Amino acid sequence: MQKKIGIQILQVVLGIVIGALVTFSIVRYRERQHLFRTENRNWQKLNLILGIVEENYVDTLDREGMTEASVSAALAKLDPHSVYLPPVELEASEQSLAGNFDGIGIQFNVPNDTAIVLEVIAGGPSEKVGLQPGDRLLKVDDLVIAGVKYPQDSIVSHIKGPSGSKVIITVKRGPDVIPFEITRGKIPVHSMDAAFMARPGVGYIRLGKFSRTTYQECHEAAMKLMDQGMAHLIFDVRDNTGGYMDQSLLLSNDFLSSGDTIVYIEGKHRPKEVFKADGRGKLQSINLTVLISENSASASEIFAGAIQDNDRGTVVGRRSFGKGLVQEPFFFTDKSGIRLTVARYYTPSGRCIQKPYGTSENYSYDIYRRYTDGEVFSADSVKLNKEDVHHTRSGRVVYGGGGIMPDVYVPMDTTRASNFYIACNRKATQMRFASEMFDRYTARLAAIDSYQEMDRFLDGLDLKASFRDFARTKDRINATEAEWNETAPYLVPQLRALIARYSKLGDNAFYKYYLPVDDTVQKALELIP
């Protein structure tokens, strides 16, 4: 009995001790749950949290990854164009706009599963060792890139490298396989895609981006076209997503009169700054048409807005993207950087054409919605902010808050897309056919250096029979006579453009021969007396 009572007493004592220990542990745990005072206005909370994580986290921390993720997440709360760029992305971004990069100096295309050299840049490393248009790229050093559907971007990354380094490019030229050892160098990057006379008196310039060399390239090209009798210029910035703002200012200045406002910018920490034309532009007497599309943004919109608001020319196409924010770069010692929105820009009439960016998802899908809502097919479907009204110099009404609405709207035409044409597009039949034509007529194409000679060559090809046979035998795509007659007026000019591109005339020939089926260019030409 006494033994039983002793055991019970021991259990009670142990229970009291264990309870005290548990209570002590809970108290100690609660003591560790400090209430930290935070002040968001001084970024104290962010530093405090990172400090707590560093002192208490269970595993080793990836400080670099956490820092970059924190910065990216923070900037994402600002606007769609304030971004953090890690070193690799910053370098690629800077190179694309700098006007030059390190490489071997070729332009190539991949119509099938093998890259074909389209152009060898004059004076570049590849020309010096003897690479030629039409060469098939088989290997980069020991890496096989032919016949394996190697991504084009990956081929570019392997070919590029620091200036002075060497790379061995193995090509197939006819029946021969030839290795070329090439020393990489600085390669000029052109922002202008094409410049030629569209018809007597009318010049055409297509600008792909606003890089460091844009003004110089376009100005020199315009001077040459004036020597050829240009009185009216069609300036094409469709799908031009922008770039350096100063190049847009210089380009606008070439066309505007002294004192004309080009643009002004203003932000909370950036006082209002107005940019005006100085009257020294060499193209003030040239009549002007500007082509824009839903992918024309930023610097393209500054240029188009300056021309439109000053009633300097006619804007033709579809409503532009709607980017009215100005980014300023900030660089860090680890070679990363940020592009931070520091101001909004306003066209001469005072409109900010920045479209709303309530959520990143809505902003990202805006262009897609323009297709689903029918805006690219009908001007009546365009959603304009009718409350944000402004006026051009002559009093014409223009609207802010969502891109540049052209003076003359040109819808996207899908009526000519026959089943045969769609099937060919899916398999890139046109591009592969052009590559085969180049193989068949390499020597003749290489010798052509004028449009008159190119016309004679292309007219001598039976493109109708050759292409239909190619599509049938290579891709098993058949066209009835009715389908071909429906498709040919749209398809044949594309074939002529793709084949002509393989000559010395290059991209100029491609765009020139494509103009007959370019509805926006044709509308611009109709408007010119």
User: pLDDT digit of tens for each residue in the chain (529 aa)?
Assistant: 444 445 454 454 444 444 443 443 334 444 445 555 555 566 788 888 888 999 999 999 998 888 889 889 989 889 999 999 888 788 777 766 665 677 888 888 787 778 888 778 766 788 888 888 888 899 999 999 888 777 777 888 888 888 889 999 999 888 888 898 999 988 777 889 999 999 999 999 999 999 989 999 999 999 999 999 999 999 999 999 999 999 999 999 999 999 999 999 999 999 999 999 999 999 999 999 999 999 999 999 999 999 999 999 999 999 999 999 999 989 989 888 999 999 999 999 999 999 988 766 678 788 889 999 999 999 999 988 889 999 999 999 999 988 999 999 999 987 777 889 999 988 889 988 998 898 899 889 989 999 999 999 999 999 999 999 999 999 999 988 988 999 999 999 999 999 998 898 988 999 999 999 999 999 999 999 8
Report the 10 Å Cβ neighbour count for 119: 19
Distance CA 174, CA 131 (A): 13
Distance CA 299, CA 297 (A): 6
Q: Is 49 within 8 Å of 39 (Cβ atoms)?
A: no
> Residue 217 carries which side chain, given as an amino acid letter?
E
User: C-alpha 297: how far from its chain's center?
Assistant: 10
Q: Is 291 within 8 Å of 521 (Cβ atoms)?
A: yes
Distance CA 477, CA 456 (A): 29
Beta bridge partner(s), residue 120: 106
For tokens 């009204």, name the residue. 389
Q: Is 167 within 8 Å of 131 (Cβ atoms)?
A: no
Distance CA 403, CA 261 (A): 19
Report the 10 Å Cβ neighbour count for 162: 8
The pLDDT value given to residue 25? 39
The pLDDT value given to residue 443? 87
The pLDDT value given to residue 10? 45
Distance CA 105, CA 120 (A): 6
Number of residues that make up the chain:
529
Collapsed DSSP state (helix, strand, coil) of residue 305: helix
Q: Which two tokens stand for residue 506?
A: 């290059």
Collapsed DSSP state (helix, strand, coil) of residue 53: helix
Collapsed DSSP state (helix, strand, coil) of residue 401: coil
What DSSP letter does each residue of 61-119 carry, written as one string?
A: --HHHHHHHHHHHHHHTT-TT-EEE-HHHHHHHHHHHHSEEEE--EEEE-SSSSEEEEE
CA atoms within 13 A on the CB side of 105: 21
Angle at 372 between CA 371 and CA 377, to 5 degrees: 45
For tokens 């600008």, name the residue. 207
The pLDDT value given to residue 216? 96
Distance CA 289, CA 505 (A): 25
Distance CA 503, CA 506 (A): 6
Residue closest to 133 by CA, chosen among 427, 428, 447: 447
